[in-house]
Chain A
């Protein structure tokens, strides 16, 4: 017994400050239960003491804050978190402890705290005046500001033929069948081991113990090139059947998987519901199936005297197992008949009251009182249809199974096993085998029987009967909501908070729908369900975000000379997506910036212009495309010359400005703003493909290939001259708005006479690989001529004092007057040398060059 527990490895932990010992293999919940801790938390609204209800992700009560290595993670479900040594576990919504909660008294006021109480009461003068105190009293865990997990969760993308969610009997049968047919299968399950219900219910498959069969199924999947992933929760199905799964890894950070299967089989099992009896929320009341999990997986007998209340056959196996393990067990069945059973069974009877101070002490059935220390409830099974419903699958109510089961087709998605309402092993195997495309007979198992007689809440039920443990919603609250007109389930949910928070109503929703149906005189199908949305379980934001955090949300572009800049004291800052030197040296920035600007004005300075866009237009139709693209006419530009101009968006807004070089008859180089390279390139590409013969003109973004170093200031020519680059620099040979080419270090060099600052400047461009050498040469000569380095801040001062535009930065949208004669535009235009034209007016569109 207790397959998961290693009693040779004790683990010390604390709960609400008290020390306890558990074992490797325990969950936090199983360790608490084994230590006799009954009260594990306080309820959300009434601060009622609560115990562990379930054994897995459906848990509504056992929500805890866990501190490990001085970091606290809030709102973890104690039933799924593996126990670790030195864990400090704290109950939520309880102060100082779950056992001795200070405001436990609040429950006495329950009659005056119905659903909607806060909305109706605390609105004068305004809700905010009360909010702080109410939130402190009602709520879950505490956030730890020091817990900032590093952004190291990897994200994997995978494709496969078949994805099977759930490695229980149906999932294993589906995976094995598909793998046998040569399909690549991903089989994933949120537990640490495969088997699903088989792990604690047992069973024989193919006339052997189930484990041999399951191991063979796993081997088949692996042999066909598939994967078996445990501790992995498929939490969402998105467009095109993309499945996202959260993989919990033990020695490494958790991972996110984006799996794109050709087909999906959902075999996610089912979740046991509570019976909606009075005081069903007391500590010591537990799901019958969970009690069996604690016995078989964790070696823990939940009570010495156990009453099991049920309306279906599945609780009888639990009763027998607990009795065999030494408990005194009684069954109370709502039905007149049930399966044969050696134990004491009261038929046609329901629990009418639970006697409990802290934990369960006795239950009342009719006139009789049964003493007990645990009350197990089995109100039937709700198929885990969440992923199917997320994929827009429709549900229908099945009376014979008292369950909402899949009723419609979803493309490339099938549901099998308990998730489809197939609650016996033989049925589950059959459905799984079929869903996996299996040939021949399904794996055989002894024919089982599952019968249930629905015992939904009734309109005239008395007493405080909990429907949603986590949100403290009782049958009375549902009745009140219905009376006040909240008869749609979506309204019911929002009015009462039913089905919200960490468990998302996994144990509550179906009872709630049935209750609302009874209260409004509708059928369950007419009442309908709320919308199922991802995630199926609370998923860490860090896993979803992966490494896209901080600087990696929008990675900066880096200059090839960043190391050299830093070595020279550059303070790097972001400018339009590029990390560039802002100023140099550790001194007070304002002064440094002024000094840098003054040096450029009075002598000479060097700045890195590599981030400026360098997009080439190449081909016989290059001039035509360049004309279309720019406001200015570029086809008239001579080879070796440069022209300044700008681009207009079709809406008439100035899109960008910059210079264009004509490298050859059939080759232009567009130098656009640093932050605009991608959009300008896209604009060119769209124009090329839309209006030109794409075989006669090409667009090539060479921005990253070239480094550009600009020498500016009255003595700039002396610096470039001193470098001895073999280019005639006199103003006749190289006038303003012209460029020359040469060779530097065996690679092409381009020297362009354009001015970003307004002073005489030389832009030297070389392949990025030669940038460091060119920079070293320039810096050496610069020093000799008392020049200095120029950061972006000083550069902006130089531009501003000349009144130059920085597109998108120069201020609010404004009307722009063009100071030079517009070319003869054949289209419409309101732009002229004198007439001001609104940048915002669509009439300026004509200026974007259409060549007729």
Chain B
């Protein structure tokens, strides 16, 4: 079981976390978005091998944060708070 660092709670077991997705902007305004673009946004991910920046949610404190980790070695590089400074 991996250990992930929550910027607010510290290191916790991976079962406490929910993977939200890759950090990407929702295409807007919606009125100008084609179906193809929307499908691209929903379903197509970079899914890199190696270092990846990902958005995670710590279920026990409900804070979203960005975690950079290596998808090949599972080594966590850094995790950062997104919307407010971590304590």
Measuring CB to CB, which residues of chain A are less than 8 angstroms from any residue of chain B?
238-240, 242, 258, 260, 650-651, 682, 685-686, 689-690, 694-695, 699, 826-828, 842-843, 845-846, 850, 852
- Which of B28, B31, B39 makes the CB contact (< 8 A) with A842? B39
- Nearest Cβ in chain B — how far from A743, in angstroms? 32
Docked CA distance A273–B55 (Å): 51
Chain B residues, Cβ within 8 Å of A689: 63-64, 82-83
Does B48 sit within 8 A of A, measured CB to CB? no
Measuring CB to CB, which residues of chain B are less than 8 angstroms from any residue of chain A?
1-3, 14, 18, 20, 28-31, 33, 35, 38-39, 42, 57, 62-64, 74, 82-84
- What are 10 A-B residue pairs whose CB atoms fall within 8 Å in the complex? A240-B3, A685-B62, A686-B64, A689-B82, A689-B83, A826-B29, A827-B30, A827-B31, A828-B33, A843-B38
Inter-chain contact A682/B18, CB cutoff 8 Å: yes
Inter-chain contact A843/B35, CB cutoff 8 Å: yes
| Nearest opposing residue in chain A for B23, CB measure | A690
Docked CA distance A258–B14 (Å): 14
- Which of A260, A651, A845 makes the CB contact (< 8 A) with B30? A845
Chain B residues, Cβ within 8 Å of A827: 29-31
Q: Which of A239, A260, A650, A828 has the most CB of B within 10 A?
A: A828
| Nearest opposing residue in chain A for B25, CB measure | A690
Chain A residues, Cβ within 8 Å of B83: 689, 694
Inter-chain contact A826/B31, CB cutoff 8 Å: yes
Chain B residues, Cβ within 8 Å of A685: 57, 62, 64
Q: Which of A240, A260, A650 has the most CB of B within 10 A?
A: A240
Docked CA distance A651–B29 (Å): 17
Docked CA distance A828–B37 (Å): 13
Known: A682-B62, A827-B30. 17 other contacts (CB 8 A): A239-B1, A239-B2, A240-B3, A258-B1, A650-B42, A682-B18, A682-B57, A686-B20, A689-B64, A689-B83, A699-B62, A826-B29, A828-B30, A842-B38, A843-B35, A850-B30, A852-B28
Inter-chain contact B1/A242, CB cutoff 8 Å: yes
Q: Is the interface of A mostly helix, strand, loop or mixed?
A: mixed
Inter-chain contact B31/A694, CB cutoff 8 Å: no
| Nearest opposing residue in chain B for A845, CB measure | B38
| Nearest opposing residue in chain A for B14, CB measure | A239
Docked CA distance A827–B31 (Å): 5
Inter-chain contact A686/B57, CB cutoff 8 Å: yes
Chain A residues, Cβ within 8 Å of B29: 826-827, 852
| Nearest opposing residue in chain B for A689, CB measure | B64
Q: Is the interface of B mostly helix, strand, loop or mixed?
A: mixed
Docked CA distance A150–B30 (Å): 56
Chain A residues, Cβ within 8 Å of B30: 826-828, 845-846, 850
- Nearest Cβ in chain A — how far from B37, in angstroms? 10
| Nearest opposing residue in chain B for A650, CB measure | B42
Q: Nearest 6 pairs between A and B by C-beta?
A: A827-B30, A239-B2, A689-B64, A694-B83, A240-B3, A242-B1
Chain B residues, Cβ within 8 Å of A843: 35, 38
| Nearest opposing residue in chain A for B29, CB measure | A852
Q: Which of A686, A689, A843 has the most CB of B within 10 A?
A: A689
Chain B residues, Cβ within 8 Å of A651: 42
Docked CA distance A695–B18 (Å): 23
Docked CA distance A384–B46 (Å): 42
Inter-chain contact B64/A690, CB cutoff 8 Å: yes
- Nearest Cβ in chain A — how far from B67, in angstroms? 14
Chain A residues, Cβ within 8 Å of B2: 239-240
Docked CA distance A176–B33 (Å): 67
Docked CA distance A842–B44 (Å): 14
- Nearest Cβ in chain A — how far from B30, in angstroms? 3
Docked CA distance A685–B64 (Å): 9
- Nearest Cβ in chain A — how far from B56, in angstroms? 11
Chain A residues, Cβ within 8 Å of B14: 239
Chain B residues, Cβ within 8 Å of A842: 35, 38-39, 42
Chain A residues, Cβ within 8 Å of B42: 650-651, 842
Docked CA distance A843–B35 (Å): 7
- Nearest Cβ in chain A — how far from B84, in angstroms? 6
Docked CA distance A451–B69 (Å): 47
Docked CA distance A650–B45 (Å): 16
Docked CA distance A850–B28 (Å): 9
- Nearest Cβ in chain A — how far from B31, in angstroms? 5
- Nearest Cβ in chain A — how far from B85, in angstroms? 12
Chain B residues, Cβ within 8 Å of A695: 84
Docked CA distance A370–B61 (Å): 74
- Nearest Cβ in chain A — how far from B21, in angstroms? 9
Inter-chain contact A239/B64, CB cutoff 8 Å: no
Docked CA distance A699–B64 (Å): 14
Chain B residues, Cβ within 8 Å of A260: 3
Docked CA distance A846–B29 (Å): 10
Chain A residues, Cβ within 8 Å of B1: 238-240, 242, 258
- Nearest Cβ in chain A — how far from B17, in angstroms? 12
**Given A260-B3, A651-B42, A689-B83, are A239 and B74 neighbors across the interface (CB < 8 Å)?**
yes
Q: Which of B18, B30, B84 has the most CB of A within 10 A?
A: B30
- Nearest Cβ in chain B — how far from A679, in angstroms? 10
- Nearest Cβ in chain B — how far from A831, in angstroms? 13
Chain A residues, Cβ within 8 Å of B38: 842-843, 845
- Nearest Cβ in chain B — how far from A693, in angstroms? 8
Docked CA distance A318–B1 (Å): 43
- Nearest Cβ in chain A — how far from B83, in angstroms? 5
Docked CA distance A827–B62 (Å): 29
Docked CA distance A852–B32 (Å): 13
| Nearest opposing residue in chain B for A841, CB measure | B35
Docked CA distance A260–B11 (Å): 12
Docked CA distance A52–B35 (Å): 70
Docked CA distance A842–B3 (Å): 36
- Nearest Cβ in chain A — how far from B48, in angstroms? 20
Docked CA distance A242–B38 (Å): 41
Chain A residues, Cβ within 8 Å of B82: 689
| Nearest opposing residue in chain B for A693, CB measure | B83
- Nearest Cβ in chain A — how far from B87, in angstroms? 15
Docked CA distance A584–B63 (Å): 43
- Nearest Cβ in chain A — how far from B81, in angstroms? 10
| Nearest opposing residue in chain B for A701, CB measure | B62
| Nearest opposing residue in chain A for B1, CB measure | A242
- Nearest Cβ in chain B — how far from A240, in angstroms? 5
Chain A residues, Cβ within 8 Å of B64: 685-686, 689-690
Chain B residues, Cβ within 8 Å of A694: 83-84
Docked CA distance A779–B29 (Å): 53
Docked CA distance A827–B32 (Å): 8
- Nearest Cβ in chain B — how far from A553, in angstroms? 14
Chain A residues, Cβ within 8 Å of B33: 828
Docked CA distance A258–B38 (Å): 44
Chain B residues, Cβ within 8 Å of A699: 62
Docked CA distance A852–B63 (Å): 25
- Nearest Cβ in chain A — how far from B40, in angstroms? 11
